[in-house]
Amino acid sequence: MEIRGVHAKVGEFELGGIDLKVDEGKYFILLGPTGVGKTILLETLAGIHRVVRGQICIDSQDVTHLPPEERRISYVPQDYALFPNMNVRENIAFGLKMKKVTKSQIEDAVGKYANRLGIAHLLDRPPQQLSGGEKQRVALARALIIRPRLLLMDEPLAALDQATRRDFWVMLKEVQREFGVTFIHVTHDLEEAFILGERIGVFINGRIVQSGIKEEIYKRPSSLGVARFLGIKNIFRGIVQDMDLRKGVGRVTIKGKGLTFSFELKARLGAGDEVDFLIRPEEVMVIREGKPIKESLKGNIFEGEIRKIIERETHHTLLLTEVGQGVTFEVDIPNYVMRNLKLIENQRVKAALRRESLWIIPGKGG
Amino acid sequence: MKALKGMKGNRLFRAATLGCLIALVGFFLITILSLALYVDWEILLSTLVSREIFFAIRLSLFTATIAAGLAMVFAIPASYALSKTEFWGKNVVDTLLDIPIVVSPVAFGSALLIFFNTALGTFIETHFLRFVFEVPGIILAQFGVATALAIRLMKSTFDSIDPRYEVVARTLGCGVWKAFFKVTLPVAKNGVVAAGILAWARAVGEYGATVTLAGAMQMKTETLPIAIYLNIASAQVDKAVAVTFILISLSAVSLIALRRMTGRGYSL
């Protein structure tokens, strides 16, 4: 599926110049804060809103001006929109019935999809009697049964409790692989995005501002806006000092602090450029006394004092203040490492930033 | 103000609100009871089988059914458009459709009467159908009043229906018509039934606009409300009371049907 320069206007809201390519059979996550037009983008893809400019292609067929019923794009809205006047069986069968498929074929297909999604025991129930998770499964079965070329899901797990959501993470991915349907899944939840998405598009203010594989988005956000939305800590304003093009290494100083780190050169920069740079909390290392220091850490070592230790489910977060300049870093340490290191508050430790993990946000910054 | 706080205040508040409710129920009960006590059952029966009242019942049922049917034919699509479509001047249209509800029916009837005195109105009367002082006039007057009510009810029904039902239905292969008839309309069923019954009941009870446009002619444009008026005007109070009783019974039956068919009390 490919969309090129799509503009759509719905009431006061304007969707501006969307470009996006999703390969067939992939799980694509559209990640963005709530209320920025993600639903409108999905509905535009489904054919509900008129495209003012641009093109939407599926399997190299231009569907920009096709009505929704001719696109073969299924849609699962956030509230699932199960038809309240039909029971679960009729809801799932709806799409096939509209296509005038024979009764016995419909029955077989409904049975197959209901079994696969674990809702065979609910077929005669009205949707009003289902739990959130059950509704989601029915909506998914109803959307998949027509064998769509593309399945759009709008915040499908937002209304579910944490345990049910975790079950769905596994199930959604399995179902997607099994049926080989291209999924576009909209969410505002970072964890959900990184667990499910093979590729992720970050959607802010009516535009896709960055799109790529998750590692790329996660470690190398294209702008400060993306970095902030991703909740990345340890973002600093800095000035590029010098560059060694032969080694592919540069040095950057935190503005006004005189604390300098080296980084791997990945973009065209000039000495004296003002930039934003970041390092993810899990990429900051606490160095064990007496342990040999890796080459990539050299030049990025500093002494810090642990100001606070916050215990989390899978890791501990340290607030580590560098001793000389008073710059504070957030450091995430897995629980098992924490147990070995036996760190306590107010302790002084040596820490280092991995050179390859230090990311300079391209452009002028700001 | 101290007395209005605390437990004493709570009791006072409950007493005040419930008191008003009891007073109102009492008012309506006394009115209906006095009517029931006044009715002479023998006269009621003889009135029922009298040619004049039998005619009025038949005419009322006939005109109200056609008027309510027509009202629904127009109100369902119109209220759908009002609920789901954005267009310039929507607020003005919305207000305009409320006119028959808030304006006195006599005034509405007069406006219709005046329209049929204009060139266009006269043309319609001479070439198509006669409305003034004729049965179609009754239907038209009832239609005007009943439609406004039906639109109001249907619009709130459509407003309450999740627009995503149609969106999903369309992605599953329905065109706009099919999505409306297979999903939206069946989901709106209770609201449609309620609007139909209330429009019919309103049409049966319509007096002001009808009498102004179609006149009060015995055995010609004599609907039940007009029969009450004619009998009171000619001092046949017993007969008038009997007809009133019939009219109230019809309304009561509609209300019961409404509750039965929609499975609950329908709130306006």
Q: Which residues of B fall below an 8 Å CB-CB distance to A?
A: 86, 162, 164-165, 167-175, 178, 182-183, 186-187, 189
In this complex, which of A68, A81, A146 lies closest to B164 when CB atoms are compared? A81
Residues spanned by the domain of A83: 2-229
Pairing of β A260-264 and β A274-278: unpaired
Nearest CA in chain B to A150: B171
B10 pLDDT above the threshold of 60: yes
Which pLDDT belongs to residue B153?
Answer: 92
Does residue A313 form part of some domain? Answer: yes
Clarify whether residues A119 and A37 are in a common domain: yes
Clarify whether residues A351 and A298 are in a common domain: yes
CB contact under 8 A, A11 and B170: no
Clarify whether residues A129 and A240 are in a common domain: no
Distance CA A37, CA A14 (A): 8
Which of A179, A196, A229 marks a domain boundary? A229
Q: How many domains does chain A have?
A: 2
Pairing of β A150-154 and β A182-187: parallel
* CA atoms within 13 Å, Cβ hemisphere of B29: 6
* pLDDT tens readout for residues A263-318: 988 777 888 888 999 998 988 999 887 777 777 787 889 999 999 999 988 899 99
When pLDDT is cut at 50, 70 and 90, the band that residue B211 belongs to is very high
Residue length of chain A: 366
Count of CB atoms situated within 10 Å of the CB of B41: 10
Clarify whether residues A286 and A169 are in a common domain: no
Does residue A211 form part of some domain? Answer: yes
Does residue A295 form part of some domain? Answer: yes
A36 pLDDT above the threshold of 80: no
Does residue A177 form part of some domain? Answer: yes
* pLDDT tens readout for residues A132-179: 999 999 999 999 999 999 999 999 998 888 888 988 999 999 999 999
* pLDDT tens readout for residues A337-361: 888 888 899 999 999 998 888 999 8
**Rounded-to-10 torsion of CA A264, A266, A270, A276:** -80
Distance CA A82, CA B250 (A): 38
* CA atoms within 13 Å, Cβ hemisphere of B101: 14
Pairing of β A348-353 and β A284-287: antiparallel
Clarify whether residues A174 and A243 are in a common domain: no
Does residue A224 form part of some domain? Answer: yes
Nearest to A320 by CA among A291, A336, A341, A295: A341
B181 pLDDT above the threshold of 80: yes
Which of A194, A229, A264 marks a domain boundary? A229
> B165 to chain A: which residues are within 8 Å by CB?
81, 83
Does residue A108 form part of some domain? Answer: yes
The whole-angstrom distance between A95's CA and the closest CA on chain B is 5
Tell me what the mean pLDDT of segment B3-10 comes to: 78
Q: How many CB pairs under 8 A join A and B?
A: 65
Does residue A366 form part of some domain? Answer: no
* pLDDT tens readout for residues B81-107: 999 988 888 999 988 888 888 889 999
Would you list the DSSP string of B223-264? -HHHHHHHHHHTT-HHHHHHHHHHHHHHHHHHHHHHHHHHSS
Is A47's Cβ below 8 Å from some Cβ in B?
yes
User: Residue A181's domain is classified under what CATH number?
Assistant: 3.40.50.300
Which pLDDT belongs to residue B263?
Answer: 65
> A146 to chain B: which residues are within 8 Å by CB?
172-173
* pLDDT tens readout for residues B51-63: 888 899 999 999 9
Clarify whether residues A44 and A138 are in a common domain: yes
Which pLDDT belongs to residue A63?
Answer: 92
Q: Are A211 and A20 in contact (CB under 8 A)?
A: yes
Clarify whether residues A214 and A254 are in a common domain: no
Which of A181, A211, A229 marks a domain boundary? A229
Which pLDDT belongs to residue A354?
Answer: 87
Which pLDDT belongs to residue A366?
Answer: 40
Clarify whether residues A325 and A350 are in a common domain: yes
Vertex B87: Cα angle to B81 and B88 (nearest 5): 140
Provide the sign of the torsion angle of the four alpha carbons B135, B138, B140, B143, taken in this order: negative
Would you list the DSSP string of chain B? -GGGSHHHHHHHHHHHHHHHHHHHHHHHHHHHHHHHHH--HHHHHHHHHSHHHHHHHHHHHHHHHHHHHHHHHHHHHHHHHHHH---TTHHHHHHHHHHHHHS-HHHHHHHHHHHTTSHHHHHHHHHT---TTSHHHHHHHHHHHHHHHHHHHHHHHHHTS-THHHHHHHHTT--HHHHIIIIIHHHTHHHHHHHHHHHHHHHHH--HHHHHHH---TTTS--HHHHHHHHHHTT-HHHHHHHHHHHHHHHHHHHHHHHHHHSSPPP-
Clarify whether residues A28 and A87 are in a common domain: yes
In this complex, which of B164, B172, B187 lies closest to A94 when CB atoms are compared? B172
CB contact under 8 A, A84 and B183: no
Clarify whether residues A20 and A65 are in a common domain: yes
Does residue A208 form part of some domain? Answer: yes
A interface test, pick of B172, B181, B187 with most A CB neighbours within 10 Å: B172
In this complex, which of B167, B173, B187 lies closest to A77 when CB atoms are compared? B167
Clarify whether residues A290 and A219 are in a common domain: no
Q: Are A142 and A130 in contact (CB under 8 A)?
A: no
CB contact under 8 A, B167 and A81: yes
